[in-house]
Amino acid sequence: MFKSLNRFLEQNPIEDLVNYDIKNESPWDEVNAEKAPIQKIQKYKDCNRNTSLSFDCDNSNGTCDFVDSIYKELWGWSFRNRMNLPSELYTKFNNDWDRLGSDTMNSFSTIYRQAIKINSDNKSSVKQNKHLQKFATLTHTIGNLTLVPFKIDFENDKKSFNQYRGFRGNETNKYFVYDFFDLSLKMIKENVDPQTFKEYIEIFYLQDFVNMDDNYSIKPLLKKHKPLLAQNKMSLDKPESFLPDHNDELNEYLINVNKLIMQRSNRLVNALKNKLDLHDTEATRESNQSKRKIRKFPIKVIGWSLIVMVSFVISILLLFEFAELEGIIIKNAIEQYGILAVGTEIIQNYTTSILIFFLFAFVILFVLIKISTVLFDMILDKLGRCTSCHKLFAMKKVKNHLINVADISIKKELKQKNLNGEVIGTTEQYIPGKRKTYEMIHQCKYCKEKQVSSYSQNYENV
């Protein structure tokens, strides 16, 4: 887990970003430790469903700092300031869209469910599909994450484009395309002028998903999508027809989508190289690491010197106590023989003891400093410290609202009683419930910096 692009680059060449699985940024150890791609994504989904924590690789709910840092570098967008278009994008898109949202371009869940359906007689074969295994990883790499219009028609759409294109719901859905990104691009293209669509493609490095020499026509991820993309206004009457019907179509889609994701990942890496001036990545990274070490060196030297000096003083004091227990009065010896003679004698006869006392004091002091630093930060956070201006009692809750409701199963322990009403055992039962996710926003009353967090609560259906 790196938490930010800068930390990633401190330990890896930027080229490694192409294949980096962002599920490794999750807060769950069992997800991060899993190596099998499909099992990894299943654990990721299970943890999101069955734990109180919430995490989304595309940062659509503000839980992935790693992706947030990449979006800031590329487009000046952050989840914290998501309510407005970044200044560098405002002139390009403000006539059509009032804001952007983060999204996963091509959904693994949609294709996995269809693969299970296609192979219903041999479900175990699905996890052996090499193309699907690759997609399970690539679906959460930077090449499959982007910013989309939050609402295509921000005056009339009731839900976000992200919700419409991936969730059918019970109401009329004018954008539902099972999260296929080629069809999603078609929805965007139909609702903006050609120049805006061209700028959207180029700004978000989506060139590999279109034919640039053919008026930015969209490349179909499945051959069966080609007639749909050719329509002036794409028909969404039969969305099931968008899905692959057999294994040949399934593999056709997977080969195409994996190739395009990899191509876009490389584009994004090259863009980051230009923005961060990282063309000679290995040498630059080593140089940057050296510079960081040099900048931190004086502070580290002072800190470690203080620890060593205090540890040495403590070890000498402990040695004095130890010597007096053995009947040697150090103070009297110094008065009689002088401090130099006594010091020489101590070094000759008690070197091992001094080292032991020093190491003991050093370790205890180091641990206490680390613990006190963590506790101090926790106390300051409780006192409403602003992470921007660092003032205390600054953060004030300005908003707490519901952002998502999901159907879940809740495990409940039921008591078994005999005829006398005595409890004789328990059984576990899963009952229907809902997980409500809330977004809480605090704002600094001095510098107006906003901090966004989310939390979830589970409720049984009444």
pLDDT at 414: 78
Residue ranges of alpha helices (H) inside 232-338 are: 247-276, 281-325, 330-337
Rounded to whole angstroms, the Cα distance separating 182 from 301 reads 56
Rounded to whole angstroms, the Cα distance separating 46 from 112 reads 15
pLDDT at 281: 44
3-class SS at 402?
strand
What residue type is assigned to position 173 of the chain?
N
* Sites in the chain below the pLDDT cut of 50: 280-282, 285, 292, 295-296
pLDDT at 282: 46
pLDDT at 145: 98
* Spans of all domains in the chain: 5-279, 296-382, 395-460
What are the residues whose beta carbons fall under 8 Å from the beta carbon of 419, sequence distance 6 or more?
Answer: none
What are the residues whose beta carbons fall under 8 Å from the beta carbon of 64, sequence distance 6 or more?
Answer: 22, 25, 55, 56, 57, 58
Rounded to whole angstroms, the Cα distance separating 186 from 200 reads 12
Rounded to whole angstroms, the Cα distance separating 375 from 118 reads 55
Which candidate, 149, 181, 188, places its Cα nearest to that of 166?
181
What residue type is assigned to position 96 of the chain?
D
Rounded to whole angstroms, the Cα distance separating 178 from 166 reads 5
Residue 140 · residue 104 · CB < 8 Å: yes
Cα 422–Cα 424–Cα 428 angle in degrees, nearest 5: 120
- For 314, the token pair is 């403590």
pLDDT at 330: 66
Rounded to whole angstroms, the Cα distance separating 249 from 223 reads 8
Cα 74–Cα 78–Cα 82 angle in degrees, nearest 5: 125
pTM value > 0.85: no
* Rg (the chain; Cα; Å): 30
Which helix (H) or strand (E) element contains residue 410?
strand 395-417
Rounded to whole angstroms, the Cα distance separating 105 from 185 reads 10
pLDDT at 342: 65
pLDDT at 340: 74
pLDDT at 280: 46
pLDDT at 290: 58
pLDDT at 21: 97
Phi, psi of 179 (to 5 degrees): 65, 15
In a 13 Å sphere around the CA of 392, the CA atoms on its Cβ side amount to 7
> Residue with structure tokens 């997609």?
135
